[in-house]
Every structure is written in C-alpha cells, then in structure tokens.
Amino acid sequence: MSPKPDDSGVNNNQSDWIKSYVDSPEKQQQLYRRTLWIVVISQIFGGAGLAAGITVGALLAQDMLGTDSFAGVPVALFTLGSAGAALVVGRLSQRYGRRFGLATGFLAGGIGAIGVVIAALTNNIYLLFASLLIYGFGTATNLQARYAGTDLATSKQRGTAISIAMVSTTLGAVAGPNLVGVMGKFATSLGVPALSGPFILAAATYIVAGLVLLVYLRPDPLVVANAIADAQIKNVSNLVDTTSHTNNNRGIVLGATVMVITQMVMVAIMTMTTVHMRHHGHGLDEVGMVIGLHVAAMYLPSLVTGVLVDKFGRMVMTIAAGATLMAAAIVAAVAPADSMLVLIIALVLLGLGWNFGLICGTALIVDSTHPTARAKTQGKVDVLVALAGATGGGFSGMFVALTSYSTLSLVGGFLSLLLIPVVIWSRNHTK
C-alpha cells in the first residue's frame, strides 16, 4: 500500500523520482514547460465547453421559462456551481495534486452539460437548474487550470505562465460560440431543441479535457512544487527566514478584490447583451459572433497582458483593467441596439478589461501564497470570484427588467472604477 499524502499533497516518504526534481533546477524547468503544454491542450477543449453556457444559457432559460426576468438565472446557477466546485477542486488539488483535482472538475462539468441537454429535451426546468450547477464544475476547473502552469514558474515567469494557460482557452472558447448555429442544426437533427446544441459540444469537450489531464499530467506539478518547498524549509535554520514561507494576507485580499470586481462587472453586462440583442432582432449567428469576439478578447490578449503584468507591475495593470471596463460600459450604454459594430466594440473592451483584471489578480494570489497552502487558497479565492459572477448574472436580468440595459452597463462601469481606490489603498499600506 502506497504511503498516504499529507495535506500538502506530498507523500511522507518521498520517492526517488520526486527527489530527482527537487535536486535538479533543469528538470524543474523541463517539467514546467511540459506542464504548460498539457494545460494548453486541455484548455483548448475546456474553452469550447465554457463558451456554451455564456452563449445560449440565458436564451435557453428564456425559452423554457417564457420570461426575461430570470434570463440571468442560468449564468448565476452555473457560476454558483463553479463557486462550490472551486473549493472542491482546490482541496482535491492540494491533497492529491493538480492532475486529480482538475480532471475531476472537467469530467463533472461534462456530466452537467449532458444533464442540460436532457433537461431541454424533456422541458424539465428543475433538471435544468440542477444540471447547470454541476456544469459549473467545468467553469471553475477551466479557471483553476491557469494555476497549474504557475506551480513551477519563477516570480518572473508567473504572469507569462498564466497568460499561456489563458490564451490557449481562446481556440476553443472562440470556436464554441461560432458553432452555435451548426450545433443547433445538429441538435435539431437528433430531435433535441436547437439551443441545447452547444451543450452537446460542451459535454464532449469537457470530458476530453478531463481525460487529457488525467492521463498526461504526470509528474504532477503541484506535488513537485510542494516537495521543493518542503526541502527549502528544511534547509532554513534561521527563524526569520522560516517565517517568510507564509502567506501574504494583504496580497491575497488585493488579488481577490481585483478579480471579484472584474468578474461581477463582466458577467452582468455580458449576460444581458445576448438577451438585449435577441430583443432587437439579432439572430443566433449574430449573437454567437459577438460573444465569440468577446471571449476572444477575454483570452487572446493574455500573452501580451502577462508580459505587461510582469514588466510594469500588478498595480499599473489593475488600473488599466478598471479604465478599460469603464470604457466598455459607456460604449455598451450608448450603443444603438441595431449596430453590430458598436456592440462588438463594447464586448471586446469588456473582455479585455476582464483579461487585465484576472491576470493581475491571479499573479497577486500566486505571489502571496506558499506552495504548501497555495491550491487551497486559490480555491477559496475562486469561490469568491464565482459568487461575484453569480451575483452579477443572477441580478442582471431583474435589474434590466426594472431599468434598462444601458443603466446596467453604466452601473457596472462605475463599479469597475473601484479598482483605482483599491490600488491606492494597497500602495498606502505597503509603504
């Protein structure tokens, strides 16, 4: 019987292969590069699964419920599901490694997507809601996978590592919304409602992403990172040096705040854009195009963003995130409903602002955590991020029903400006 891993995910009696990585910086960098490749492949598939819910989730609920007021409920539900999933995946990853935690999350998300298809076929709203919660596991895992690439990254590589993981999501995430029409026809040919078609794609891609990680993410990067951290602690004889191996709570709070505000603003405006477009005569293909470009802006700039975050610092790019989100909100508020071009500009800016905020926040969390507690902390932070998205998505439909899409956009824009005083607070308390 193999020795049981402790809370850090490392066996009490380290095997020789782990020691070979601990003793060799060259092997650590080789594993770092291999891990990034595996994460890239899994994220391509995971991105396609992620795109299904944000593209047609609100429209599916609108059709099944017969009202716009609760159109934001699907996004709220799978985002709420992703909150619980973030905690579960984080704890599984901390105890058993990234491989097991991430694979479990993606496979669960695939099962949830299958449930959504069955719910649409049987017109069972309760099954739809339950399935969307489980589908949220895929959303949470898609985000948590970005951390896997940072486990063995140096402080100067972290922004870039996060970016590589995120930009790889673009291929699937952009393809997903643009396949809405095709998957709708495919679903109809099977006798399933057209709006459930993207969830058929999500089921397949999430399951493939999970299997890729389960089979190929070996050696596990977090297990190796924990072993390296343990070895460093044992080599420290000075108590002052030992205390440096603890979490920086102020940095964690700052990173979490940046991601929470960014997520809430982005989800609220994005969710109601699809409903807003449909009300003004835009078809599914047009909705798919706008959301596809929005998702591209969420992930595609990541390679450049990561370099900027590493070069100019987390604070500068956090301010850029707030300013970009505010610009997106203003454009969305004044956009003529029949103008595809202006709506595309608004949603591209919205995605770009989210990209800046998420990469800055993620880098701050990685900077502020020690490997032996990193995955659990990351999971807890992603719970808050998911709850913020659930709040934004859940209340967006009700808010628009009482006011307007333009008002929602402007409120989101003003909320994004809170990132600036957050940065000022952080700087004042680090002097």
How many Å apart are CA 287 and CA 299, to the nearest integer?
19
Q: Is the residue at 170 inside a domain?
A: yes
Q: Is the residue at 145 inside a domain?
A: yes
CATH code, domain carrying 335: 1.20.1250.20
State the DSSP string of 170-193: HHHHHHHHHTHHHHHHHHHHTTS-
Please tell me the number of Cα atoms within 13 Å of 336 on its side-chain side: 4
3-30 confidence digits (pLDDT tens): 444 444 444 445 777 888 888 888 888 8
Percentage above 90 pLDDT, the chain: 29
Quickly state the pLDDT bin for 52 (edges 50, 70, 90).
low
Please confirm whether the linkage preceding 301 is cis (ω < 30° from 0): no
β-bridge partners, 5: 11
What's the confidence (pLDDT) of residue 393?
Answer: 79
C-alpha 178: how far from its chain's center?
A: 20
The angle at the Cα of 381, spanning 293 to 407, to the nearest 5 degrees, equals 50
Residue ranges making up the domain that contains 385? 18-228+248-426
Instruction: Please compute the mean of the pLDDT values over residues 93-110 and round it to a whole number.
Output: 93
Per the structure block, which two tokens stand in for 359? Answer: 């990469």
Q: Is the residue at 36 inside a domain?
A: yes
Q: Is the residue at 416 inside a domain?
A: yes
296-319 confidence digits (pLDDT tens): 898 888 878 988 888 888 889 999
Whether the pLDDT of residue 206 is over 70: the answer is yes
Per the structure block, which two tokens stand in for 350? Answer: 């919205």
Q: What is the CA radius of gyration of the chain?
A: 21
Q: Is the residue at 212 inside a domain?
A: yes
Indicate the number of domains in the chain: 1
What's the confidence (pLDDT) of residue 325?
Answer: 96
144-172 confidence digits (pLDDT tens): 887 888 888 877 777 788 888 877 877 77
277-296 confidence digits (pLDDT tens): 877 777 777 887 888 788 88
Q: Is 123 left (phi over 0), alpha (psi -120 to 50) or beta?
A: left
Whether the pLDDT of residue 58 is over 80: the answer is no
How does the average pLDDT of the chain come out, rounded? 83
What's the confidence (pLDDT) of residue 7?
Answer: 40
Q: Is the residue at 393 inside a domain?
A: yes
Q: Is the residue at 11 inside a domain?
A: no
Q: Is the residue at 234 inside a domain?
A: no
β-bridge partners, 11: 5
